[in-house]
């Protein structure tokens, strides 16, 4: 049984795309910032896979022959958000970026939303998720009013102390917002951002985050695999990003390490199809918080788990490591950056040292996996490179 495994190292960009200046991201380079933040920066397993051999990568050493194939992926879609990146990995082109709300959501919407949930809200502006808790947390805890905020991405986020607004009520508020954020008020994702006050008195977000996304407009890689009777096993926030479409099984994760653990559990089962994992901590805990050293340590911690992943691979497994956008911790603000992303591929049948160069779309991943799994149906975009990477 053939199986593909995609692990998304969320936000691990490797350099600004040619149109990055249009997004205010000229000069961004997430991986370079990590390499410069920690000395020594030790990711030997990713180096062995060929990370430093990818065109344009800075701060990571090259090796004579990588263990597998490698390449650089450009994003063809407009935007730099999570949904756009993941949908393109799965074969969907987003030609119109999701609507954003840099000045907050329209008052007409907020009024209707407050009426729908039965209380007023706090905030309604673009902010860092940790900073807004410091600014509005006390007022929220005194009044019981939920904190609403957004970012440069198309998101409507609701933060609440679960001792003030119970988790199920927070989820209900998100579901109400999801139903309302359509048409002229369209929005890519509604995100529940629960937090607690820990023993030190610090407001700390919990792992009970939940995303409510829109459904993909066309059949994705996930739909085509499951339609053909094969498994699509989602690990982490993948199910939320695709609104469950095409997914046969899914598991929630609490951290990057938990995401690796649950990927390994899936890999030890015998089935054909796809395991699709997102490791969100890189983005949410380090990129958005502009913590370059913490991000670098997190990547080192993932690198240390790579041998376990490789040891768990079955004879016909095809492993792909990639990212969905950048989030340069040395860039201004707290949001994603418009960058190319790495692609590292390993498997018993993959030719070592194969350089795929620069690919023009993340969707080449979807096209390649469909070819590998023997599925004739195609996604809207994507060019397969399966013949380029397999041993002759």
pLDDT tens column, 145-190 = 999 999 878 999 999 999 999 999 999 999 999 999 999 999 999 9
The whole-number pLDDT of residue 153 equals 81
* Mean per-residue pLDDT over the chain, rounded: 96
Q: Are residues 147 and 188 in the same domain?
A: yes
Q: Are residues 209 and 279 in the same domain?
A: no
Dist CA 333 CA 345 (whole Å) = 33
Structural element, H or E, at residue 174: helix 167-180
Q: Are residues 257 and 375 in the same domain?
A: yes
In this structure, the number of other CB atoms found within 10 A of the CB of residue 344 comes to 25
Q: Are residues 238 and 373 in the same domain?
A: yes
Dist CA 338 CA 16 (whole Å) = 6
- Determine contact, residues 297/310, Cβ cutoff 8 Å: no
Q: Are residues 240 and 326 in the same domain?
A: yes
Tokens, residue 69: 């194939």
The end-to-end CA distance of the chain, in Å, is 20
Q: Are residues 190 and 299 in the same domain?
A: no
Dist CA 28 CA 326 (whole Å) = 8
- Domain of residue 378 covers 3-92+216-389
Residue 17 has pLDDT above 90, yes or no: yes
Tell me, yes or no, whether 203 lies in a domain. yes
Q: Are residues 237 and 169 in the same domain?
A: no
Region 103-120: mean pLDDT is 97
CATH code of 146's domain: 3.30.70.1250
Dist CA 368 CA 387 (whole Å) = 9
The whole-number pLDDT of residue 392 equals 79
The whole-number pLDDT of residue 130 equals 86
Dist CA 239 CA 233 (whole Å) = 9
Between these two residues, 325 and 100, which has the higher pLDDT value?
A: 325
Tell me, yes or no, whether 253 lies in a domain. yes
Region 25-30: mean pLDDT is 97
Domain count, the chain: 2
The size of the chain, in residues, is 392
Region 353-365: mean pLDDT is 98
Q: Are residues 271 and 332 in the same domain?
A: yes
Q: Are residues 112 and 259 in the same domain?
A: no
Region 107-129: mean pLDDT is 96
Region 1-11: mean pLDDT is 97
Lowest mean pLDDT among 239-243, 274-278, 333-337, 344-348: 333-337
The whole-number pLDDT of residue 65 equals 98
Q: Last residue of a domain, which of 213, 229, 250?
A: 213
Q: Are residues 205 and 222 in the same domain?
A: no
Q: Give per-residue burial for 203-240: e unless 16+ CB within 10 Å, then b.
A: bebeebbbbbbbebeebbbbbbbbeeebbbbbbbbbbb
Q: Last residue of a domain, which of 148, 181, 213?
A: 213
Q: Last residue of a domain, which of 213, 248, 281?
A: 213
The whole-number pLDDT of residue 383 equals 98
Q: Are residues 87 and 118 in the same domain?
A: no
pTM, 2 dp: 0.90
The whole-number pLDDT of residue 105 equals 97
Q: Are residues 265 and 220 in the same domain?
A: yes
Residue 230 has pLDDT above 80, yes or no: yes
The whole-number pLDDT of residue 97 equals 84
Tell me, yes or no, whether 46 lies in a domain. yes
Tell me, yes or no, whether 299 lies in a domain. yes
Residue 128 has pLDDT above 90, yes or no: no
The whole-number pLDDT of residue 95 equals 93
The 3-state DSSP class for residue 271 equals coil
The whole-number pLDDT of residue 333 equals 81
CATH code of 343's domain: 3.40.720.10
Tell me, yes or no, whether 326 lies in a domain. yes
Tell me, yes or no, whether 97 lies in a domain. no
Percent of the chain scoring above 70 in pLDDT? 100
Dist CA 123 CA 352 (whole Å) = 52
Q: Which of 284, 243, 35 is nearest to 153 (CA)?
A: 284
């Amino acid at each position: 049984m053939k199986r593909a495994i995609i692990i998304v190292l969320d936000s691990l960009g490797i350099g600004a795309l040619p149109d990055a200046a249009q997004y205010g991201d000229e000069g961004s380079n997430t991986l370079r910032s990590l390499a410069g933040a920690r000395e020594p920066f030790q990711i030997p397993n990713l180096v062995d896979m060929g990370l430093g051999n990818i065109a344009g990568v800075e701060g990571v050493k090259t090796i004579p022959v990588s263990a597998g194939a490698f390449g650089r992926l450009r994003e063809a879609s407009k935007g730099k958000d999570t949904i756009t990146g993941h949908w393109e990995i799965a074969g969907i082109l987003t030609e119109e970026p999701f609507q954003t709300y840099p000045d907050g959501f329209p008052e007409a919407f907020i009024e209707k939303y407050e009426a729908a949930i039965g209380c007023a809200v706090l905030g309604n502006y673009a902010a860092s998720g940790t900073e807004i808790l410091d600014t509005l947390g006390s007022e929220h805890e005194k009044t019981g009013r939920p904190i609403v905020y957004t970012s440069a991405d198309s998101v409507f986020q609701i933060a609440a102390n679960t001792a003030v607004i119970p988790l199920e009520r927070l989820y209900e508020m998100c579901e109400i917002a999801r139903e309302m954020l359509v048409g002229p008020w369209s929005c890519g994702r509604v995100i529940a951002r629960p937090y607690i006050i820990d023993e030190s008195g610090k407001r700390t977000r919990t792992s009970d985050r939940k995303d409510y996304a829109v459904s993909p407009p066309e059949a994705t890689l996930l739909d085509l695999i499951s339609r053909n009777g094969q498994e699509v096993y989602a690990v982490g926030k993948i199910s939320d990003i695709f609104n469950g479409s095409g997914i046969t099984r899914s598991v929630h994760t609490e951290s990057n390490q938990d995401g690796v653990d649950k990927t390994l559990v899936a890999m030890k089962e015998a089935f054909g199809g796809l395991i699709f994992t997102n490791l969100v901590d890189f983005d949410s805990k380090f990129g958005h918080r502009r913590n370059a050293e913490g991000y670098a340590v997190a990547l080192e911690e993932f690198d240390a788990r790579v041998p376990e992943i490789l040891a768990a691979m079955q004879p016909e497994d095809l492993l792909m490591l990639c990212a969905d956008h950048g989030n340069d911790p040395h860039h201004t603000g707290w949001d994603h950056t418009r960058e190319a992303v790495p692609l590292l591929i390993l498997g018993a049948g993959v030719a070592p040292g194969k350089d795929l160069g620069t690919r023009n779309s993340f969707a080449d991943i979807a096209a390649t996996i469909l070819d590998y799994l023997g599925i004739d149906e195609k996604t809207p975009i994507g060019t397969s490179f399966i013949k380029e990477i397999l041993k002759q």
